Structure 1
Amino acid sequence: METKPRPEGSTTSGFCDAERAVSMVTECTERRPWGRIIIRCWRSAAVLGIQTSKRLKKKATYDKFGEEGLKGGIPREFGGEKAWTAGYVFHGDAEKTFKEFFGGDNPFADFFSPDGTEVNTGFGGLRGRGVKKQDPPVERDLYLSLEDLYFGCTKKIKISRRVMNEDGHTSCIRDKILSIDVHPGWSQGTRITFPSEGDQGPNIIPADIIFIVKEKPHPRFKRQGNDLIYTASIELGKALIGCTVEIETLDERILNIPINDIVHPKYSKVVPGEGMKLSQDYNQRGDLLVQFDIQFPEHLAPQKKQLLRKALLP
């Protein structure tokens, strides 16, 4: 096969321009947010390449047919009324040349939103790296006794989580101890957050671990906000004539509360300052509310009925 020599000067001007355009693309990528700017730079480089190709054809036409062939077109093989093909005149519009060559406006349009920002396609994006997203928070219940919430305490909780190895690609399961300082006065629903202590991964931000306080049932008290509720069981006679109720507190003190009123089913006795400590001020406390469960006798002797009749009925 015969190898034709390349026309002199055909490889200097056009391709040097293209090389300069490629350098311009690199400079834009390194120094500025690249969005649409790099697309315009890349587009300009592509247009230069197209014009370079056409410039070579233009020189070949001039060498063979002279200036008339360049401006008027190449003569057709069989002549006729239109013996010359249409001449080439550059319109000066790089955008138009780009569309004619590529059949569209932007080959990267699918990778960008209308405002020019990069769309996360799930394949790492045009930047070569994925957009990291944080996993949803992991919530766990933390069960505490009323004593824990009254005095405060420290809880040590062991968690097992996936941790990335030093190579950045493999992982393993490791245990970690989380320490929670429980403050006096915390209530049910209090949330304690450990940021980014969840499973690690190459393309994720570890989830937050959130512990939510739950109160364990207590044998003597129920909690209502900062107040404590105690239910005393008393006999009907004591409910009518009065009594003294003995209560052991959370800090193991004994309260002797006199009841001088007639106790009815909706009656309650308020003991100020014997409730839960306030989380805002440990020296302040809620109240103790004493409610009553009145025990009625299952049987009553006739003599006692007669006495009650005289005492209670007119």
Structure 2
Amino acid sequence: MGVDYYKILQVDRNAKEDDLKKAYRKLAMKWHPDKNPNNKKDAESKFKQISEAYDVLCDPQRRAIYDQYGEERLKGQVPPPGSYASTSDGGGPTSFRFNPRSADDIFSEFFGFSSPFGGMGDMGGASRSAGSSFSRGMFGDDIFASFRSATSEGASAGAPRKSPAIERTLHCSLEDLYKGTAKKMKISRDAYDANGRPSTMEEILTIEIKPGWKKGTKITFPEKGNEQRGFIPSDLVFIIDEKPHSIFKRDGNDLIVTQKLSLVEALTGYTAQLTTLDGRSLVIPINSIISPTYEEVVKGEGMPIPKEPSKKGNLRIKFNIKFPARLTSEQKTGIKRLLTSPGGSS
């Protein structure tokens, strides 16, 4: 599993929130670099490990990913399916990346002047009043002066941070992306009620798919992610993915279709017939000789252009010519005669 956060905090794998707080409070005070001036380098390393372990295990989402996949996977891109919420379209797993916070930030938040964890006995109560005997006397004035200066740059000491965005894949058919559509998605997320109690909130989001949107397009719903104490809820981001189509292939704003035809049709004339993505029938007569590399371009029958939906790319028709498996002597003689005649050689 790599780093063992439970071992670092000296707790068992079933440790509750209160157990984690007690363990962190004890170890952070013991190993804070300002408490260990004669062993500052080792203390700083230990202090960072303790802080990272607490930051992971105190968050249910990160802890669940760590328990299942380990620390390497937690800091990578692939989480367990459904680590954010269930959706009605059965899309791919949430994209998740854990970036460890500064050890000083975690310490300041835990012992700071507006701790999001509420009361923690005498120590917690003392920590909530700036200039209290606790905040002046634990390691001396220097450490809390540094906390105050760090948190005062652009925000107050208790200013909440925003959780990282949560990304989900939204699978769309080529028809959806051609015509545009509205998809309704049911989400379930962690929240807190008016009394501050944890709850689960369900909501239906409507996602407007615009004509011509491409794979990779992102739709953001601000602050619709899970809530954590002391953090602004994360944004929920849907990323468009394009399902393979049985007939058409997309190339930017163009559509490509391949038609099968016989050698006779390729040489004597062929009429391409197909149904467009919005249900219209197209009939395209082709009088040219169709070689294996020939491509018929039909202007304006491709995908809508997102910035100008009234305009479209092109439809490009390619051909798969079926050659006969064998020819009789009479057929060979006849073909030679036709192709070497004045009309055939012209």
Deviation at 1:113, TM superposition (A): 4.3
Q: Distance in 2 between matches of 1:192 and 1:112?
A: 42
Name the one with the larger helix percent: 2
Q: Structure 1 CA distance, aligned partners of 2:209 and 2:288?
A: 40
Quick one: which amino acid aligns to residue 225 of structure 1? G
- Separation of aligned partners in 2, 1:108 and 1:268: 78
- In structure 2, what residue type is equivalent to 1:161? R
| Distance in 1, Cα, partners of 2:238 & 2:334 | 60
Task: Report the CA distance between 1:302 and its aligned residue.
Answer: 2.1
Indicate if the aligned counterparts of 1:111 and 1:119 stay in contact, CA closer than 8 A.
no
- Which of residues 239, 262, 286 is equivalent to 1:212? 239
Q: Is this contact kept in 2: 1:195–1:208, CA < 8 A?
A: yes
Counterpart selection for 1:281 from 308, 312, 327:
308
Partner of residue 269, structure 2: 242
For 2:144, give the aligned amino acid: F
What's 2:149 paired with? 117
Which 4+ residue blocks in structure 1 deviate beyond 3 angstroms?
111-114, 311-314
CA distance in 2, matches of 1:213, 1:252: 23
1:311 shift after superposition: 3.2
Partner of 1:107: 140
The CA distance in 2 between the partners of 1:162 and 1:291, in whole Å, is 51
Residue 111 of structure 1 contacts residue 118 of structure 1 at CA under 8 Å; is this kept in 2? Answer: no
Alignment length (residue pairs) = 203
Query: Could you tell me which amino acid in structure 2 is paired with residue 108 of structure 1?
Result: D
Shift of 1:257: 1.0
Over the aligned positions, Cα root-mean-square deviation in angstroms equals 2.6
Give me the identity figure in percent. 41
2:284 pairs with 1:257: yes
CA distance in 1, matches of 2:339, 2:143: 91
Per the alignment, residue 308 of structure 1 pairs with 335
Task: Please list every run of 5 or more consecutive structure 1 residues that lacks an aligned counterpart in the other structure.
Answer: 1-41, 43-101, 121-125
Q: Under a length normalisation based on structure 1, what TM-score does the superposition of the two structures give?
A: 0.59
Q: TM-score under structure 2 normalisation?
A: 0.54
Q: Indicate if the aligned counterparts of 1:150 and 1:184 stay in contact, CA closer than 8 A.
A: yes
Structure 2 alignment gaps of length 5 or more: 1-130, 132-136
Which residue of 158, 182, 202 maps to 2:186? 158
Higher Rg of the two aligned structures: 1
Distance in structure 1 (CA, Å) of the matches to 2:170 and 2:332:
54
1:229 equivalent to 2:262? Answer no
Separation in structure 1 between the aligned mates of residue 323 and residue 234 of structure 2, nearest angstrom: 57
- 1:5-55 per-residue CA deviation (whole Å, 9 max, x = no partner) reads xxxxxxxxxxxxxxxxxxxxxxxxxxxxxxxxxxxxx8xxxxxxxxxxxxx
Deviation at 1:119, TM superposition (A): 5.7
